[in-house]
A and B are shown apart, each in its own frame.
Chain A
Amino acid sequence: MANMTPLAERLRYAIPQGLSLKIGVLLAVGALIAGPLLRILSETLAPQTIAAWSDVVLSPLSRNLLWVPLSNTLVLGIGVAGGCVLIGGFLAWLVVMTDVPFRRTIGLLATLPFMIPSFATALAWSSLFRNSRVGGQTGFLEALGLAVPDWLSWGMVPTFIVLTAHYYSLAFTVIAAALATVNSDLVEAAQMTGAKRGRIFAGIILPVALPAIVSGASLSFAGAVSNFAAPALLGLPVRMQTMATRLFGMIEIGQTARGYVIAILLIVVSAFFLWFGNKVISGRQSYATITGKGGRAKRFELGPVRLPLLAIGMTICALTTIVPVVVLIASSLAPSSSALFSNWTLHYWLGTSNPSIAHGQAGVLHNPFIVSATATTVSLGLVVAITGSILGLMVAFTLARYRTGLVSGVINQIAFLPLLVPGIAFGAAYIALFGAPIGPFPALYGTFTLLVIAGTAYLVPFSVQTGRAVIQQVSGDLEESARLTGAGFFRRLSAITMPLASRGLAAGAIIIFVKIMRDLSLVVLLFTPTTPVLSVLAYRYASEGFTQFANAITVVILVISIAATLLANRLQTKSQPWLKN
């Protein structure tokens, strides 16, 4: 700095501070997020492809291409949102407001289903309920002699159940956090007026929790309409299409333009409901802020229904966490999913190729394809964890440092855009942009690099939030007081910032890793045999009838992601205020 040339000196004052940083970050998020999305739109508007719009929306084909999948998607979305709010809300109420025993356990279990990938739950469902309609192995219940009707085995109902079992923990988390801010004084003040329980619930608790209920519902809705795994595994065999599966099918058979149109419409549906939920909430008063001192937590006495409600809560938790995992493990050991708990063999794990079992497929640990997929997946997770953390931190830093201004506003909007975009549509957008060479750059389709870029971009909203939390933790008074002692930038970085931020950063990176590990919908379209990924492999095996292999791979994913999640929780010493007494 000391020997700065006069020109640099002048430039320093001529250019607004931080402009280069802002422009750099803008270019990064623009290329990673806005680029693919604009590209997929322009792709469908080109003269030779614009006909895809009318094919999809207004043609004899459009009933099958759009309207039936759309109505299935909406029915699923609305049903799952309702189911999630009921179950998640009930559990949140139980854990936060009542004196039910084992509250901590229920609270912990209720957050787990979201960590189990939805294709795992779907696979577990079909191991139990699969009937003989589409051939292949039948499920456990059929083997017990129970006739499983088609509607329980395939299509809308099982998809709805599996998605609800997966997404209710989202609703639980949001509603529990909101209920935890309801001061028990509010309830006691209502008791003083003589209002009965039902009236207090309807007049006080429900309205105060309404914003959280609405946001729980819209998050579950967006999750359900974007989900690919569950409808693909449970619906496709009986030709039930949702927009996500239709989009996948179109791109698989090479009708990319039509696929892109469906992707755009899917983004519109998902984004509309998220926007609508936000709108409903933001039009209302914010309630959470009213707290004085005091406010002891007095729990609602359940009296005689205490144990029955405990049983219901525990059953829900067990059915959505423990049962699927147990079924998956058992089924990866049993030669036939009709006899889950007998004749166990480690063949599907350790066995070498044997023509009499599973068409000679070798066990998971001997199968070169699966071993290389594990390596690819883990390295993908690690690389994205690092790139995502760095990008997230940079964006968060830029936004924290330069809060106002047009560029910051645009960065902020773009960074959170992926939240509105279903993973499979995002994957489609990446194919649209990187499927062909751009200028001097070769086509990235089928390369590890593409998976890294797409994964990093898709998780930007999440990594920015982590980065923000880290920056908030560190910046401000702590850093300033260090600056006042005269410590230089690097001294401060090593003595104050890094020690304080490292845990948060590490925890955030691990969670990114887990999200990538268990993701299916983003990578399902980007998958090629040269870049095998575990989740897609599990899906392929399942759709080809090799249930045990699919389940064994899923168990591998589960073990890695649960171990990583526990590590992250430990690092974060995650605060769950609603569990405190």
Chain B
Amino acid sequence: MISLSNLTKSFGNFDAVKSISLAVPEGAFLVLVGPSGCGKSTMLRMLAGLEKPSRGTISFGDKTVSDGERGWTIEPAKRDTGLVFQSYALWPHMTVAGNVEWPLTVARMAAFERKARVTEVLSLLGIDALADRYPNEISGGQQQRVAIARMIAPKPKVLLFDEPLSNLDAKLRVEMRTELLRVHRATGATSIYVTHDQVEAMTMASHVAVLKDGEVEQFGAPGDLVAQPRTAFVATFVGTPPANLIPASPHGSKMILAGEPMVATFSLEGPALAMFRPEDLTVYDKPGPRSIAMEFAEASPVAGRMMVTGTRDDLRLTAVVDEAPKFYPGDPVYFSLPEAPAALFSLKGERLA
């Protein structure tokens, strides 16, 4: 089990990570996801032991590995973790096999054992043919595999990944996702994975922590985050496509949604944000009841359905429908809302109902 309690990291007056507490069981695949600058990489570096926490503790199992209060942390190498860097950090003067072998040499593994382990991990990642090449002679995807092989060779109990797929093209990224999950299963280690891409989080994680401004917005299983977002930020950050948020305010017997007065089908005490899922919206080329006029922006086929997006000022609505009329950019498009929103959030983003 990995647990963080009140983990805080400050750089000068700036708190990059603000009192975060969470715990995942052994063998979990935890994804830390959030926009850039949310503190996710700093958290990972603290887990790796490369940074000391300012306050709070990190424990692996029942062993405390970092203690911010006492300003004390176990060295990176002694905490049984491996890290894949965003840049891969392959040592350019060593061959692929050399890169994988060096950590084992430092750990004083016997030579014959070392060779066997190198061969084993290289073939686990399907790169045994590249053993004698140098990092600058292989492709980005292959470099990625070498970085993973190098990490798992000493059999760490905790695998850390810092945005490892962000330098790969779209197709490779999908392949490497599968590959990483396979490695995770094969090693049985606990994995912690940092990304800004919610799709990666949703597809790979057993546990997801959505971070914003150094704080955890929500922590849970991927399905729960989409089904029960706890904040407006999470609602619009996860899911493919993410949910729509429409400003709503009661006005006498009417309810004003995105500036359009409508029959009130739900009650509100004051202005709020109403969440509607894309699959609950429909689109028309003429105004209708409970419809919001938007300007057509884009449409794309998605798994046999149509995803249609319209914009108006700052508002952006996405609907996933079975069939849609043919629109051209700039055409008016009318998004028709269901009677009840899937959730309501205060203007500050807290969940109301």
Contacts and interface: CB of A to CB of B under 8 A. Distances in A.
Nearest to A287: B92
A520 B321 CA distance: 82
B90 A290 contact: yes
User: Which of A195, A199, A289, A298: most chain B Cβ within 10 A?
Assistant: A195
Contacts of A284: 93
A372 interface: no
Contacts of B75: 191, 194
A189 B89 contact: yes
Contact of B85 (A195, A203, A286, A294): A294
Interface stretch (B20-28, B161-169, B184-192, B265-273): B161-169
Contacts of B48: 192
Interface string A176-216: 00000001011011111111000100011001101000000
Nearest to B162: A294
Interface residues on B, range: 20 to 34
A523 to B, nearest CB: 43
A487 to B, nearest CB: 33
User: Which of B78, B90, B91, B162: most chain A Cβ within 10 A?
Assistant: B91
Nearest to B107: A194
Nearest to B167: A292
Given A185-B87, A193-B103, A285-B136, A290 B76 contact: no
A470 B286 CA distance: 60
Contacts of B91: 186, 189-190, 204, 208
A293 B167 contact: yes
A197 to B, nearest CB: 12
Interface residues on A, range: 20 to 34
A287 B82 CA distance: 24
Given A183-B89, A208-B93, A294 B163 contact: yes
A203 B102 contact: yes
B103 A185 contact: no
B121 interface: no
Contacts of B102: 190, 193, 203
A475 interface: no
B171 to A, nearest CB: 18
B327 interface: no
A345 interface: no
User: Which of A192, A193, A207, A293: most chain B Cβ within 10 A?
Assistant: A192
B83 interface: yes
A289 B136 contact: yes
A123 to B, nearest CB: 43
Contacts of B154: 193
Nearest to A207: B93
Contact of A293 (B50, B83, B86): B86
Nearest to A208: B93
A295 interface: yes
Interface in B100-157: 102-103, 106-107, 134-136, 150, 154
B76 A191 contact: yes
Contact of A294 (B77, B86, B150): B86
Contacts of B82: 192
Contact of A192 (B77, B90, B93, B134): B77
B254 to A, nearest CB: 50
A191 B134 contact: no
B92 A208 contact: yes
A286 B77 CA distance: 29
B106 A193 contact: yes
A82 to B, nearest CB: 22
A204 B106 CA distance: 12
B119 to A, nearest CB: 19
B88 interface: yes
A293 B76 CA distance: 22
B231 interface: no
A287 B91 CA distance: 9
Given A208-B91, A287-B93, A290-B92, A192 B86 contact: no
B81 interface: yes
A295 B166 CA distance: 13
Nearest to A298: B50
A63 B83 CA distance: 63
A486 to B, nearest CB: 31
A447 interface: no
A496 B329 CA distance: 37
A194 B92 contact: no
A59 interface: no
Interface in A285-343: 285-287, 289-295, 298
A185 B85 contact: yes
Interface in B50-99: 50, 75-78, 81-83, 85-93
Contacts of A210: 93
Contacts of A293: 86-87, 163, 166-167
A285 B92 CA distance: 8
Contacts of A191: 50, 75-77
Interface string B297-316: 00000000000000000000
Interface in A245-295: 284-287, 289-295
B77 to A, nearest CB: 3
Interface in B38-58: 48, 50
A292 B166 CA distance: 10
B26 to A, nearest CB: 21
Nearest to B77: A194
Given A192-B83, A199-B106, A203-B102, A290 B136 contact: yes
A496 B78 CA distance: 58
A183 B78 CA distance: 23
A186 B147 CA distance: 11
Nearest to B99: A189
Nearest to A296: B41
A292 B136 contact: no
A295 B87 contact: yes
Contact of A189 (B83, B136, B166, B167): B83
A335 B246 CA distance: 88
Contacts of A185: 85-89
A186 B135 CA distance: 13
B90 A194 contact: no
Contacts of A291: 87
Nearest to B163: A294
B114 to A, nearest CB: 13
Contact of B106 (A186, A195, A208): A195
Contacts of B167: 292-293
A576 B91 CA distance: 24
Nearest to A295: B87
Nearest to A285: B134
Given A193-B77, A292-B167, A298-B50, 16 more contacts: A185-B89, A186-B89, A189-B85, A189-B89, A191-B76, A192-B48, A192-B76, A192-B83, A193-B102, A193-B106, A195-B77, A208-B92, A285-B134, A290-B90, A293-B87, A295-B87
30 contacts: A185-B85, A186-B89, A188-B83, A188-B85, A189-B83, A189-B85, A192-B48, A192-B76, A192-B81, A192-B83, A193-B77, A193-B102, A193-B106, A193-B154, A194-B106, A195-B106, A199-B106, A207-B93, A208-B91, A208-B93, A286-B136, A287-B92, A289-B136, A290-B92, A290-B136, A292-B85, A292-B86, A293-B163, A294-B162, A298-B50
Interface of B: 48, 50, 75-78, 81-83, 85-93, 102-103, 106-107, 134-136, 150, 154, 162-163, 166-167
Interchain residue pairs A-B with the least CB separation, the first 9: A194-B77, A292-B87, A185-B89, A294-B86, A193-B103, A287-B92, A189-B89, A207-B93, A185-B85
Interface of A: 183, 185-186, 188-195, 199, 203-204, 207-208, 210, 284-287, 289-295, 298
